[in-house]
Amino acid sequence: MLMFLNIMFLCGLWVFSSSRKHLLVTLLSLEFIVLTLFLILYYYLIKFSGELFISMFFLSFAVCEGALGLSILVSMIRTHGNDYFNSFGVLQC
């Protein structure tokens, strides 16, 4: 089980590091990594009989991270018309 979760995490990192065209694909790979980290955390908490309320804190932070990413995506689409990374510069406001 743990080996499968490690492979999932590495696949998420690979997609995150290889996709540089769309912001949406990057955000989806980040959410996949967060989901994998949640499963690893839950697995360790069950295995070592830890308190499971820590996983609820982790999920609440993951939801906040996802909402922040979606708000950035929406504002980028409204200002630039697409979600390509190459359509905007770093120095543009």
Q: Does some domain include residue 58? A: yes
Q: Does some domain include residue 52? A: yes
| pLDDT score at 89 | 67
| pLDDT score at 70 | 93
Q: Does some domain include residue 87? A: no
- The boundaries of the domain holding residue 65 are 2-16+23-82
Q: Does some domain include residue 89? A: no
- What's this model's pTM, rounded to 2 decimal places? 0.85
Q: What is the pLDDT along the chain (93 residues), one digit of tens a residue?
A: 889 999 999 999 999 998 778 888 999 999 999 999 999 999 999 999 888 888 999 999 999 999 999 998 998 888 888 888 777 665 455
Query: Number of helices and strands (H, E) in the chain?
Result: 3, 0
* Residues 24/82, Cβ–Cβ less than 8 Å: no
CATH of the domain at 75: 1.10.287.3510
| Burial zone of 42 (CB within 10 Å; 0-12 exposed, 13-18 middle, 19+ buried) | middle
| pLDDT score at 19 | 75
- What is the C-alpha separation between 30 and 23, in angstroms, rounded? 11
